[in-house]
Structure 1
């Protein structure tokens, strides 16, 4: 698949680059994508939810009223769930939501997600760039030049670039990651994927095996 390389002004540089069919041109496996996205979201859950049950409530243990003669139901403890401030019946307890997938399945999912974006023509290849200092304004200008200022976008860098990363942090609609941090969820969640030239070698070498 041949794609034109753009500069940060959104203009074609006159160069074209071939995207590997082994990564960007496979038959998408939708179930693999589903499993990988499901795992990513599950692993974000902390699982620290907890409610106190009857035995954990701090309160008096005395019998709050006599057993008979009141005309109402028996009551032995103020900690009972039927009273305000009592314990909760079958309340939530801490739980580990972590899921595991094989490395090969995760690669299939990422190849499938990238192929779907390529099929939708939602992948942009951008020549490598840098800023002299972190600047949200300059990064916003890049988004406007590429026509992505009103869309969710994912920029994939080849190497760690602190200035570009810091420039994007205040923009909710855009995210910057290294090629090694690329996940199926982030690919699917973005409307457009912007691949810097330096990231292609890492992506293709990691996912083509």
Structure 2
């Protein structure tokens, strides 16, 4: 499929770029996208550090004092939670938030996310992210002319454009990622996907290399 390559300042004459149909021309499947997004969200969950409970504490199991006649409460051993150094009662436990998903399914999900944006007409390809002056106000005006929508995910090549990164850092509606960081959740979570020529080459090379 062909898309028009635009310039960030809107002054350059746009040229056509042929996108690889194996990456940008697939029919999106909701079940694949759902599996990959669920996997991503599960992978980034943090687990609590486990506390040592009564059976985990290294203390003597010998009965503490006599059962009767001591004038105090009846205790079995020093591992009880009421003693200093005893085990934690109902403490946090380690939970497994490390699901697995086949690499082929993850790759297919990313292709389908890219294809979904292209099919919906929410894909913008820029020649580069160079700016004459790295100012937030100037970038905001340029974005308004290009029509990035409510929010946009901008993906650059190997290295991020420093000027664009500085100018967009104060814009809540713009998020910037290198091509290696492209992922299904962030792509679907933004109204518009913006790719540079370098990003297109990197993404196509990832799947065809």
User: Quick check: 1:40 aligned with 2:40?
Assistant: yes
How is 1:80-99 mapped onto 2 (pairs within 5 angstroms)?
Answer: 89=90, 91-93=92-94, 95-99=95-99
For the residue of structure 2 that corresponds to 1:48, the secondary structure is coil
Please report how far the alpha carbon of residue 132 of structure 1 lies from its aligned counterpart in structure 2 after TM superposition.
5.7
Please report how far the alpha carbon of residue 189 of structure 1 lies from its aligned counterpart in structure 2 after TM superposition.
0.9
Task: Output the aligned Cα RMSD.
Answer: 3.9
Task: Answer yes or no: is the 8 Å Cα contact 1:8–1:145 preserved in 2.
Answer: no
For the residue of structure 1 that corresponds to 2:195, the secondary structure is strand
- Corresponding residue number in structure 2 for 1:156: 155
- Corresponding residue number in structure 2 for 1:178: 178
Structure 1 unpaired stretches of 5+: 57-75, 82-86
Structure 2 unpaired stretches of 5+: 57-75, 82-87
The 1:54–1:134 alpha-carbon spacing in structure 2 relative to 1, beyond 3 Å, is: farther
- Corresponding residue number in structure 2 for 1:187: 187
Please report how far the alpha carbon of residue 146 of structure 1 lies from its aligned counterpart in structure 2 after TM superposition.
1.6
Task: Answer yes or no: is the 8 Å Cα contact 1:30–1:112 preserved in 2.
Answer: no
Task: Answer yes or no: is the 8 Å Cα contact 2:48–2:92 preserved in 1.
Answer: no
Please report how far the alpha carbon of residue 187 of structure 1 lies from its aligned counterpart in structure 2 after TM superposition.
1.0
The 1:169–1:54 alpha-carbon spacing in structure 2 relative to 1, beyond 3 Å, is: farther
CA distance in 2, matches of 1:10, 1:133: 15
How is 1:56-205 mapped onto 2 (pairs within 5 angstroms)?
Answer: 89=90, 91-93=92-94, 95-131=95-131, 134-148=134-148, 151-160=150-159, 161-205=161-205
CA distance in 1, matches of 2:51, 2:192: 42
CA distance in 2, matches of 1:14, 1:170: 28
Cα deviations across residues 22-60 of structure 1 (Å, max 9, x unaligned)? 11111223222112211211121121266786789xxxx
The 1:13–1:42 alpha-carbon spacing in structure 2 relative to 1, beyond 3 Å, is: same
How high is the TM-score relative to the length of structure 1?
0.74
Task: Answer yes or no: is the 8 Å Cα contact 1:20–1:204 preserved in 2.
Answer: yes
For the residue of structure 2 that corresponds to 1:175, the secondary structure is strand
CA distance in 2, matches of 1:126, 1:112: 21
The 1:26–1:145 alpha-carbon spacing in structure 2 relative to 1, beyond 3 Å, is: same
The 1:174–1:54 alpha-carbon spacing in structure 2 relative to 1, beyond 3 Å, is: farther
User: Quick check: 1:2 aligned with 2:5?
Assistant: no
The 1:171–1:48 alpha-carbon spacing in structure 2 relative to 1, beyond 3 Å, is: farther
How many residues end up aligned between the 2 structures? 206
Task: Answer yes or no: is the 8 Å Cα contact 1:5–1:12 preserved in 2.
Answer: no
Task: Answer yes or no: is the 8 Å Cα contact 1:29–1:108 preserved in 2.
Answer: no
User: Quick check: 1:13 aligned with 2:13?
Assistant: yes
